[in-house]
């Protein structure tokens, strides 16, 4: 990481992409999109746009951690012939990146003030391929459906029925959702969410489960939301968990939980990450036990130790930030 003081904005941006984006992206199209879109244009905090941290924008809204956004968009694997729906506009940064990778992007946020601010910002910066909508994200934007791909950047109980209905057959969806857990037992201070990658196949959604994350919850009374009314609503589509074939679903991301294939860097990463654990005052067993208490199997939790040390340090920092540590 270069010294912030005295560095030009261009140097900071290059360093940001090198540290926070490149390790998480295999698609050249996605990487070029992050190079083209300046995160500094989307945050009021000009001192911190190039750190790998989420930035709170207001109640229930944030500029997500860039490495996480990069990983999720990479999983989505967009192309320039597609129409994409982005659920959770926030600052507009994610929609701007997606607009470099797709033909048409629609983004929706429940907060009108957030939507209006994002619309003004995107218009000023020339992102004409992005259309802003205000409304319930769980309802999607039916007037422009079907979508080739949908990205959700707010925590949901499960994939909302409306989003499933608006997805093309064969379309992909990426979202942070709870897995095999009663939503009434989840708390906002826990990593109850996992990123899932889904492919629509007729009336079924084939899901592959990836890494644990923390997100603001989607505000909705519709299916997929967190209110009692939403939780009582049932889906009509079938869910098929396909964790045994993550490479077939998306070859670019083999780090499905419990299915991580070891490579030559794993031993070095594990050694470095065990030292990081020590610096946080933890042993390996204590770390694994914490994740077991959150409902994760020990073999799944152990795969976290194989992450790149920068990513693993972010996991530890986020755990500490939400008082998980």
Spatial contact of 19 and 50, defined as CB atoms under 8 Å apart: no
Per-domain boundaries in the chain: 9-249, 266-321
pLDDT band at 57 (very low <50, low <70, confident <90, very high): low
Tell which CATH architecture fits domain 9-249.
Answer: 3-Layer(aba) Sandwich (3.40)
pLDDT score recorded for residue 103: 97
Q: Are strands 147-152 and 83-87 parallel, antiparallel or unpaired?
A: parallel
Tens of pLDDT, residue by residue over 204-219, are 999 988 877 878 888 8
Which residue would you say has higher pLDDT here, 40 or 164? 164
Residue 325: per-residue pLDDT: 47
Tell me what the mean pLDDT of segment 298-314 comes to. 69
Q: What is the pLDDT of residues 182-238, one digit of tens each?
A: 666 665 544 478 889 999 999 999 998 887 787 888 889 999 998 899 999 999 999
Q: Is the pLDDT of residue 43 over 90?
A: no
Residue of 27, 61, 64, 306 with catalytic role: 64
Active site residue 64: yes
Question: Which pLDDT value is given to residue 323?
Answer: 46
């Amino acid at each position: 990481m270069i010294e912030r003081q005295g560095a030009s904005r261009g140097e900071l941006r290059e360093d940001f992409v090198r540290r926070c984006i490149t390790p998480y992206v295999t698609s050249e199209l996605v990487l070029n999109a992050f190079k083209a879109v300046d995160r500094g244009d989307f945050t009021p905090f000009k001192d911190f746009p190039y750190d790998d941290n989420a930035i709170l924008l207001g109640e229930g809204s944030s500029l997500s951690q860039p490495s996480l956004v990069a990983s999720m968009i990479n999983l989505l694997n967009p192309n320039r012939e597609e129409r994409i729906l982005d659920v959770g506009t926030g600052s507009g940064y994610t929609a701007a990146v997606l607009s470099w990778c797709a033909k048409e992007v629609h983004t929706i946020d429940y907060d009108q003030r957030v939507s209006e601010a994002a619309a003004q910002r995107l218009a000023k910066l020339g992102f004409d391929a992005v259309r802003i909508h205000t409304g319930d994200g769980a309802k999607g934007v039916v007037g422009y459906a079907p979508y080739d791909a949908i990205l959700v950047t707010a925590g949901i109980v499960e994939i909302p029925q409306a989003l499933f209905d608006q997805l093309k057959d064969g379309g992909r969806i990426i979202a942070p959702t709870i897995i095999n857990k009663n939503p009434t037992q989840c708390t906002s201070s826990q990593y109850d969410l996992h990123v899932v990658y889904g492919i629509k196949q007729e009336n079924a959604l084939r899901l592959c489960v990836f890494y644990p994350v923390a997100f603001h919850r989607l505000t909705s009374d519709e299916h997929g939301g967190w209110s009692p009314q939403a939780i009582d609503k049932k889906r009509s589509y079938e869910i098929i968990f396909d964790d045994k074939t993550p490479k077939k679903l998306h070859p670019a991301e083999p780090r499905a939980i419990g299915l991580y294939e070891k490579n030559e860097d794993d031993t070095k990463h594990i050694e470095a990450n065990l030292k990081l654990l020590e610096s946080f005052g933890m042993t390996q067993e204590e770390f694994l036990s914490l994740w077991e208490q959150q409902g994760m199997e020990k073999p799944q939790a152990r795969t976290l130790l194989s992450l790149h040390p920068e990513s693993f340090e972010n996991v530890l920092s986020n755990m500490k930030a939400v008082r998980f540590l």
